[in-house]
Amino acid sequence: MKVSYHGHAVVKVESKGKTILFDPFIRGNALTDLQVDDIKPDVIIVTHGHGDHLGDTVELAKKNNSLVIANFELATYLSWQDVNTHGMSIGGAYTFDFGKVKLTPAFHGTGLETENNEIIYLGMPAGVLLTIDGKTIYHAGDTGLFSDMKLIGDRHPIDLAFLPIGDNFTMGPEDAAYAAKLLGAKKVVPIHFNTFPPIKQDPHQFVKMLNEGVGQVLEAGEAIEL
C-alpha cells in the first residue's frame, strides 16, 4: 500500500487498484503537485466543509464517478450537486469494499461562504480512521489538541497519522507533538502548514519534537509504503 502527501491536507492512499483521496484541495493550492485532470480517485474522503479541504471534490467526483464520504450534512449538500455520497457521523464506522472508515471528533469550524455573504453550515468537522490492508491511517483533519486523542489511539492502534501543525486555525507544532504522544502512532507526518502566511511553520522542527524515528516530513508527491 502506498500513502502519499500532496500539500496542505491532501493525502492519497493507493491499495489493490483503488485510489482514495483525502481533502482534495488542488486548484488554488500552490504547494500541491497534483492536477485535477490527471487524478482519478475511486473514493474521496472530506474531513469538513471549508474550501481548502472540500476543494475540487465536486468536479473530481463527477468526472470519475467517485464515492464521496463525509459527515451527513456535507454529504447531503454534495448529493444535491449530483455527487455519489455516503454520509456518516462522529463515532460511526462503515466497512466499504476497500476498507473501513470511522469518523472521529475534530475541534474546528465548518461551512462555505456564499456570494451573498452568508455561511452554509456543513456539519461537524471530523478526523478519519481508515483501516485498509490490515493497517490503520489517521487523518486528523483540522483540529486543536484534545485529550480524547489518547482514547482514539488506545482503541485503534495507528500505523500512520497525519497531523496539522500550522497553528492559528489548528494545532501548532507543540500541541501536535503532544497529540502524537497521546495517539501513540508508529509514524507521524505533518500536514496543513505553509500554504498561507498565517500557518507558516518548520515541519522539520516539529519532527525533532517527536520520539526518534516517529516523525517524517513528506514533500508533495513523496510517499510511505505500509
How far is Cα 193 from Cα 172, in angstroms, rounded to an integer?
9
What is the predicted pLDDT for the residue at 211? 95
Question: What superfamily would CATH give domain 2-219?
Answer: Ribonuclease Z/Hydroxyacylglutathione hydrolase-like (3.60.15.10)
DSSP states of the chain as a string?
Answer: -EEEE-STT-EEEEETTEEEEES---TT-TT----TTT---SEEE-S-SSHHHHTTHHHHHHHHT-EEEEEHHHHHHHHTTT--EEEE-TT-EEE-SS-EEEEEE--S---EE-TTS-EE-----EEEEEEETTEEEEE--S----TTHHHHHHHS--SEEEEE---SSS--HHHHHHHHHHHT-SEEEEES-SSSGGG---HHHHHHTSPTTTB----TT-EEE-
* Mean pLDDT of the region 130-153: 98
**Cell 466499504, residue located:** 96
What is the predicted pLDDT for the residue at 222? 98
Summarised one tens digit per residue, pLDDT across range 28-56 is 999 999 999 999 999 999 999 999 999 99
Closest listed residue to residue 103, CA positions, set 138, 61, 56: 138
Predicted TM-score (pTM) of this structure: 0.97
**Cell 493525502, residue located:** 11
- Listed in sequence order, the residues at least 6 apart from 153 whose beta carbon sits closer than 8 Å to its beta carbon are 182, 183, 184, 185
How much of the chain exceeds pLDDT 90, in percent?
97
What's the burial of 51, exposed, middle or buried (CB within 10 Å: 0-12/13-18/19+)? exposed
How confident is residue 1, by pLDDT bands cut at 50, 70 and 90? Answer: very high
Summarised one tens digit per residue, pLDDT across range 192-217 is 999 999 999 999 999 999 999 999 99
Summarised one tens digit per residue, pLDDT across range 142-165 is 999 999 999 999 999 999 999 999
Reading the block at residue 21, the C-alpha cell is 483521496
Question: Would you say 49 and 77 are in contact if contact means Cβ atoms under 8 Å apart?
Answer: yes
Q: Is the dihedral of CA 170, 173, 177, 180 positive or negative?
A: positive
Q: Give residue limits of the domains in the chain.
A: 2-219
How confident is residue 10, by pLDDT bands cut at 50, 70 and 90? Answer: very high
Summarised one tens digit per residue, pLDDT across range 58-117 is 999 999 999 999 999 999 999 999 999 999 999 999 999 999 999 999 999 999 988 899
What is the predicted pLDDT for the residue at 27? 97
What is the predicted pLDDT for the residue at 159? 98
Reading the block at residue 202, the C-alpha cell is 518548520
